[in-house]
Amino acid sequence: MDTTKRLMILACALASFAAAPGVLAVESASQARERRAKEVVDMANAGNTALKDGNFDLAIEKFSGALDRGISGDNKAVALYGRGLAYFQKKDCPNAMKDFDQIVEQRATDAQFHFVRALCLVQAGDKPGAYASVDKAIAIAPEKPEYYRFKCIDRFNAKDFTGALPDCEKTVSLTPDDADIWLAIGQSAELTNDKVKARGAYEKLLALKPDSQGAKDGLARTAK
């Protein structure tokens, strides 16, 4: 038998062997890498699904699995952000910040990232850092009322009524039906001796909530 025929027979035998039931083809190194890469991305995607479903423990488990298995590049940043958000939802800001701090550069243009990070910084007692992070969010997305609202409420609760007013007023310029902020404006203006502004805010509040005792009391106090 000549060499050509022997090679043809060998090729046929190998093809039959690969196609035989129960026989596994040998996986190449590149195929193995691709399979592992797909597995970790699938795991991160499962984490995203769990996060959207509100199953934060499962989200942390899936994102951690993907990170432990070496997910890389942009996918790693997504997994860290997702796990950080899951920790944040569980009110575990120390662990959330560990993840957030690793991806500040990758998320530099993500307003919501800076805002969530600010909320954690408040929990950590870092008010200057929190305000700086919110200001980054505002610079990226100045149309978002929740960023101004955060500073309005935080300053109001800290009795910084002068500091609260600009952010409160910006909030209602974007969401004019926010009754709580109109009350904050009225009380802040009243406590900084601006009765005209206070009355205007209480009137807005009363129009939104005719049964508001805060509005009625405020109007009575500023009537003189």
Q: Which of 4-18, 38-52, 119-133, 139-153 has the lowest mean pLDDT?
A: 4-18
Whether 64 maps to a domain, the answer reads: yes
Q: Is the pLDDT of residue 17 over 50?
A: no
Round to whole Å and give the CA distance between 23 and 49: 35
Q: For 223, phi and psi rounded to 5 degrees?
A: -75, -25
Round to whole Å and give the CA distance between 192 and 169: 15
pLDDT (average), residues 187-201? 96
pLDDT digits 0-9 by tens, 74-121: 889 999 999 999 999 999 999 999 999 999 988 999 999 999 999 999
The last residue of a domain, from among 92, 111, 129: 92
Write down the pLDDT at residue 39.
Answer: 86
Q: In this structure, what token pair is assigned to residue 87? A: 């920790």
Total-model pTM: 0.76
Which has the higher per-residue pLDDT, 30 or 102? 102
Residue with tokens 């050509």: 4
Q: Is the pLDDT of residue 14 over 50?
A: no
Q: Is the pLDDT of residue 34 over 70?
A: yes
Contact at 8 Å (CB) between 152 and 168? yes
**DSSP string covering 73-135, please?**
HHHHHHHHHHHHHHHHHTT-HHHHHHHHTTSTTTTTT-HHHHHHHHHHHHHTT-HHHHHHHHH
Q: For 36, phi and psi rounded to 5 degrees?
A: -65, -40
Whether 14 maps to a domain, the answer reads: no
Q: Which of 24-33, 153-162, 164-173 has the lowest mean pLDDT?
A: 24-33
The last residue of a domain, from among 66, 92, 118: 92
Whether 25 maps to a domain, the answer reads: no
Domain extent for 45: 35-92
- Total domains in the chain come to 2
Across the chain, mean pLDDT equals 88
